[in-house]
């Protein structure tokens, strides 16, 4: 896997500029789970880095999410008024 990543220059592409790795877990039997903070506009760059850099070394799945807590707090405050 490391040889494929090196050949694909994964280390040069990941993480994309302007993004931040929040956590990186290796889960036995599941694989690696990486949490990355980025804007919606940077999602394409992340996908491209994974496709080009990790291709052949890993199977990948993406589950884009967002932090709903700030929105929930704002809505809750409106209802409470």
pLDDT digits (tens, 9 = 90+) for 8-25: 898 899 999 999 999 999
pLDDT at 38: 93
Could you report the per-residue pLDDT of 17-74, keeping only the tens digit for each?
Answer: 999 999 999 999 888 889 999 998 999 999 999 888 887 777 778 788 888 999 999 9
Give the span between the Cα atoms of 15 and 37, in whole angstroms: 10
pTM as predicted:
0.70
Cβ–Cβ under 8 Å, residues 53 and 45: no
Instruction: Kindly report the number of other CB atoms within 10 A of residue 59's CB atom.
Output: 7
What is the structure's pLDDT at 30? 85
What does the alpha-carbon distance between residue 56 and residue 9 come to, in Å, rounded to a whole number? Answer: 12
Enter the tokens of residue 15.
């993480």
How far is 69 from 81, CA to CA, in rounded Å? 19
């Amino acid at each position: 896997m490391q040889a494929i990543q090196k050949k694909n220059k994964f280390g040069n592409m990941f993480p994309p500029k302007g993004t931040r790795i929040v956590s990186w877990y290796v889960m036995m039997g599941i694989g690696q789970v990486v949490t990355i903070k980025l804007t919606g506009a940077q999602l394409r760059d992340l996908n491209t880095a994974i496709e080009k850099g990790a291709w052949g070394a890993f199977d990948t799945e993406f589950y884009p999410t967002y932090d709903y807590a700030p929105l929930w707090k704002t809505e809750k405050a409106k209802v409470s008024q």
